[in-house]
Structure formats: C-alpha cells, structure tokens
C-alpha cells in the first residue's frame, strides 16, 4: 500500500492523525514541591518500599490497572500477516476500548519478530511493567504455544483475546439462544467450522460451559476432525480425542447433518444446502468478518436464531463484550491467571444482562451497553477468588 491510497478527506484517516492514544499525568506538577514528590527525591522512598515488597507495585504504580496489548502482526483482523507497524492502529484501538469500557489502561506493544521463543522472552522481560498481558492477532498454531508458555511463566493474567474473547461471547450467545428456544446446552448437537485459534477456543469454552463434547463435531480445511484422521497433531489431535464420538467423517455438510448449532469461525463459505440439513429450530453463528460463512438472510430461511460478527445485523458477537470486563475483574482481584471458571463466569454475566428481554434478534447485549463490563468484572473477580487465583 502506498501513500497514494491515503485520502486526507476520508474521516477514517482524519480520526487517526497523530494516533488514538496519549500519556496523561495523574498528579499535579505545578510547583517544586510537586516535582520533589512525583520525582526525585521523593520517588526513591516508593522505590525502596517496592524493592522490599514487590506486591506494592500494584498500589503505587500503574501496573495494577494497566495491561500490555501484544502482537506480532501475523494475523491482523482479516488483513493477515501485515507486520507490527501496520498492526499498531488496531492495537491502539484495542487500548482505547479497554479504557472506554472498563477504565483499564493499555499500552500497544508491536513486536518485530514472529519467533515464538523471542516473543515469549520479550513479553516475560516486559511483564514487570504491567498487571496483565493481552495477546492479540498472533496466528495459529503459534498463538497456542505463546499463551501457554507465558501463562506458565508469569504470575499475572495472560489472555489471547482472539481465542478466548470470541469464545466467551459465543458461549453467552448460545446460552441465551438455547434459553429462548427452551433447549439445554447438553442436548445440543454442535458443528464448529474452523479449527484455528478461535475455533479451538470456542470448542473448549462450549464444553466447559456445558455442551456435551461427544455431540460436538469440528471441521478444518480438510474436513471433519476425528480419530480417523492421521494428519493431526497438537491441539487438533486433542480435539479429535475429545469430540466427534460418532466418528463422523466428511465435509462441513456432513457435520451439519442433523446439527442444532453451527458456529462458523473459518471464513470459508458454507452452502445453503448444508445449512438446510440442520435440525429444525437451529442456531447459526456465522462469525467470519466481513463476509459471514453463511449470509444471515440465507441462514434465517432454515434456522430460528442467527448471529454474526457484523454490526449491521442483529446479534453481533463482538469481543468487546468480554475482554474489558475480564481484565477489569482480573486486575481488581489481582489474579495470577485467568481460569476456565473465570471465562465461564464472564459468559454467564454477559448472557445475564439481557436474559429477561430475549428475542431472536437480541440474544446478546449491544457492545455499547454500559451494564456489560461492570457485570463481567464483578463475576470474573468472584470466580478468581473461588478458583483460588486471587491475591486481593
């Protein structure tokens, strides 16, 4: 992309001039006394206190309310591997959302490496400056190892939003869709199209939330994942061991035959005939952006509830419903990690915001609903205490 593609009159470019973030002081600096308190010599006393008790950094620095938004630029939105510099506007936007919806400060950290060892080493070295690490737009399968290794190495929350943010909101939406249709999660037959970062996390989250793993079928680009496949390793091999109890093989159409739920996180088109093969009164979450796997109007001919990742259709499955409140709650509890219980609690809280006003076109709250982040934060903090990972 060259400078010729920039239109100075375009309101998008106008908004981004100078970026979307700035640093602001939280203390006065209008006198010599102010300066001596905020900086030398007064600051030395705070440094000595933290050196004696590192936990005091949560109280006397920004670490207790600040997260790093870390990317390597390898899987940015639908743009793909565009690199760290081009990813920066997205990371700035993420930081703005953290601040707007949960009063969490966030700092974009765009790394000029896509080597797993280097990413892990850099983030570990930066971790003392932050209260949490939000991993963003790192491609699969490397994202799984990066998150796992950081989660094991650090005593602060590590959360790959592309995986878990999506999964939390999908579980919330499915809870409410099932309630609206008077169905139980454990009775639903679920087909997941896509076995990348989001697909794996969605599958695991639905199982943690009450979906029967035996009734889940996951598809990747080669078809249904199951024990019959000899090409599977790592996370896909684990999925094969835990799901598809019937031993189905074939393509997405076979996975959808008789299914109650389709969750699309693949970007691949699914034909209308395959959707028509679902059980009556079904549910379709077609989350690829900007082009859903199934057009919402096509899906609506065959199922009872439809959701997408787009803001111009009802039931937008948007990560902003999850990640601000998840980190707010984790920081408030001074959690050492984010557990499955905390994620399920977040999903339940999101679902609960609109549980009394459900319709087929309103199974999740609006991303702008001010009730969401506080409800999620409270539920996540309580779950952290319940799961034994809270320090506050």
Q: What is the secondary structure of 58-110 as a DSSP string?
A: HHHSGGGGEEEEEE-SSSBTTTBS--HHHHHHHHHHHHHHHHHHH--EEEEEE
Identify whether residues 60 and 94 lie together within a single domain. Answer: yes
- Cβ-based neighbours of 338, under 8 Å, separated by 6 or more: 157, 158, 159, 164, 326, 330, 380
pLDDT, tens digit, 9 for 90 and up, residues 4-42? 688 889 999 999 999 999 999 999 999 999 999 999 999
Identify whether residues 255 and 371 lie together within a single domain. Answer: yes
Confidence (pLDDT) at 51: 98
Percentage of residues of the chain with pLDDT beyond 90: 92
Average pLDDT, integer, range 95-110: 97
| Residue 346, in any domain of the structure | yes
Is 94 an active-site residue? Answer: yes
Identify whether residues 355 and 215 lie together within a single domain. Answer: yes
| Residue 1, in any domain of the structure | no
- Per the CB < 8 A criterion, the answer to whether 280 and 131 are in contact is no
Going by the annotation, the residues of the binding site are 136-137, 162, 289, 318
Identify whether residues 147 and 57 lie together within a single domain. Answer: yes
| Residue 219, in any domain of the structure | yes
Average pLDDT, integer, range 318-343: 97
CA of 6: how far to CAs of 10, 21, 86, 90, 290, in Å?
8, 21, 14, 17, 21
| Residue 7, in any domain of the structure | no
Confidence (pLDDT) at 231: 92
Last residue of a domain, one of 119, 146, 161: 161
Identify whether residues 167 and 83 lie together within a single domain. Answer: no
What is the rounded distance in angstroms from the CA atom of residue 151 to the CA atom of residue 129? Answer: 16
Percentage of residues of the chain with pLDDT beyond 70: 99
pLDDT, tens digit, 9 for 90 and up, residues 270-310? 999 999 999 999 999 999 988 899 999 999 999 999 999 99
Query: How many structural domains are present in the chain?
Result: 2
Write down the mean pLDDT value for the chain. 95
Q: Report how far Cα 50 is from the mean position of its chain's Cα atoms.
A: 32
Identify whether residues 52 and 198 lie together within a single domain. Answer: no
Task: Scan for tokens 């440094």, then name that residue.
Answer: 47
Identify whether residues 156 and 301 lie together within a single domain. Answer: no
DSSP symbols for 315-370 = SB--GGGTHHHHHHHHHHTTBSS--HHHHHHHHHHHHHHTGGG-BTTBSS--TT-T
Beta strand 158-160 pairing with 190-193: unpaired
Is 222 an active-site residue? Answer: no
Average pLDDT, integer, range 246-264: 96
| Residue 204, in any domain of the structure | yes
pLDDT greater than 70 at residue 379: yes
| Residue 338, in any domain of the structure | yes
Which residue is catalytic, options 20, 39, 124, 343? 39
Q: In the structure, what pLDDT confidence band is assigned to residue 65 with cuts at 50, 70 and 90? A: very high
Percent composition of the chain: helix, strand, coil (DSSP 3-state, to 5): 50, 15, 40
Classify residue 207 by burial, with Cβ atoms within 10 Å: 0-12, 13-18, 19+: buried
Average pLDDT, integer, range 172-187: 98
Identify whether residues 228 and 112 lie together within a single domain. Answer: no
| Residue 330, in any domain of the structure | yes
pLDDT greater than 70 at residue 2: no
Q: In the structure, what pLDDT confidence band is assigned to residue 3 with cuts at 50, 70 and 90? A: low
Bridge partners of 219, per DSSP, are 193, 224
Identify whether residues 269 and 316 lie together within a single domain. Answer: yes
- Looking up residue 324, the CATH number of its domain turns out to be 3.40.50.720
Average pLDDT, integer, range 344-373: 97
Range of the domain at 375: 162-391
pLDDT greater than 60 at residue 109: yes
pLDDT greater than 50 at residue 351: yes
Classify residue 62 by burial, with Cβ atoms within 10 Å: 0-12, 13-18, 19+: middle
- Per the CB < 8 A criterion, the answer to whether 172 and 208 are in contact is no
Strand, helix or coil at 381? helix
Last residue of a domain, one of 103, 134, 161: 161
Strand, helix or coil at 211? coil
Identify whether residues 148 and 172 lie together within a single domain. Answer: no
Going by the annotation, the residues of the binding site for a divalent metal cation are 136-137, 162
Identify whether residues 105 and 142 lie together within a single domain. Answer: yes
DSSP symbols for 278-309 = SPTTEEEEE--SSS-SS-HHHHTTTEEEEEES
Bridge partners of 107, per DSSP, are 68
Cis peptide before 290 (omega within 30 of 0): yes
Which residue is catalytic, options 20, 94, 99, 124? 94
Task: Scan for tokens 């790093």, then name that residue.
Answer: 68
Identify whether residues 157 and 169 lie together within a single domain. Answer: no
Query: Token pair for residue 70?
Result: 């870390």
Confidence (pLDDT) at 233: 86
Between the two ends of the chain, the Cα-to-Cα distance in Å is 48
Confidence (pLDDT) at 82: 95
| Residue 12, in any domain of the structure | no
Task: Scan for tokens 């499915």, then name that residue.
Answer: 174
pLDDT greater than 50 at residue 1: no
Average pLDDT, integer, range 231-259: 94
Q: What are phi and psi of 101, to 5 degrees?
A: -95, -20
What is the rounded distance in angstroms from the CA atom of residue 369 to the CA atom of residue 371? Answer: 6
Last residue of a domain, one of 161, 177, 202: 161
pTM, to two decimals: 0.93
- Looking up residue 153, the CATH number of its domain turns out to be 3.40.50.10380
């Amino acid at each position: 992309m060259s400078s010729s593609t920039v239109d100075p009159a375009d309101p998008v470019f106008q908004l981004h001039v100078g970026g979307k973030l700035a640093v602001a002081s939280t203390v006065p600096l209008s006198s010599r006394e102010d300066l001596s308190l905020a900086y030398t010599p007064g600051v030395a006393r705070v440094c000595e206190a933290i050196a004696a008790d590192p936990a005091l950094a949560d109280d006397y620095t920004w670490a207790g309310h600040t997260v790093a938004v870390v990317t390597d630029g390898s899987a940015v939105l639908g743009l793909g591997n565009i690199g760290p510099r081009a990813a920066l506007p997205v990371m700035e936007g993420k930081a703005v959302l953290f601040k707007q919806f949960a009063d969490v400060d966030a700092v974009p950290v765009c790394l000029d490496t896509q080597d797993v060892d280097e990413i892990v080493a850099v983030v570990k070295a930066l971790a003392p400056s932050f209260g949490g690490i939000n991993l963003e737009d790192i491609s699969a399968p490397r994202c799984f190892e990066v998150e796992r290794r950081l989660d094991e190495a650090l005593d602060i929350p590590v959360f790959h939003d592309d995986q878990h943010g999506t999964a939390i909101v999908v579980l919330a939406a499915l809870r409410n869709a099932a309630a609206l249709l008077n169905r139980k999660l454990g009775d639903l037959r679920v087909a997941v199209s896509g076995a990348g970062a989001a697909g794996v996390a969605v599958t695991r989250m639905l199982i943690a939330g009450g979906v029967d793993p035996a009734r889940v079928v996951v598809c990747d680009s080669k078809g249904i994942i199951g024990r019959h496949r000899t090409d599977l390793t790592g996370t896909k091999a684990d999925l094969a061991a835990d799901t598809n109890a019937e031993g189905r093989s074939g393509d997405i159409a076979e996975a959808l035959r008789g299914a109650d739920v389709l969750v699309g996180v693949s970007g691949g088109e699914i034909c209308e005939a395959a959707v028509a093969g679902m059980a009556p009164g079904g549910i379709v979450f077609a989350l690829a952006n900007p082009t859903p796997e199934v057009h919402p109007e096509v899906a609506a001919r065959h199922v009872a509830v439809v959701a997408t990742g787009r803001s111009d259709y009802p039931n937008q499955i948007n990560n902003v419903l999850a990640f601000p409140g998840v980190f707010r709650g984790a920081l408030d509890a001074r959690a050492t990690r984010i557990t499955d219980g905390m994620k399920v609690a977040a999903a339940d809280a999101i679902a609960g915001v609109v549980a009394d006003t459900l319709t087929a076109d309103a199974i999740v709250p609006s991303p702008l609903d001010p009730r969401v982040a506080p409800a999620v934060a409270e539920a996540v903090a309580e779950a952290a205490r319940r799961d034994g990972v809270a320090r506050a």
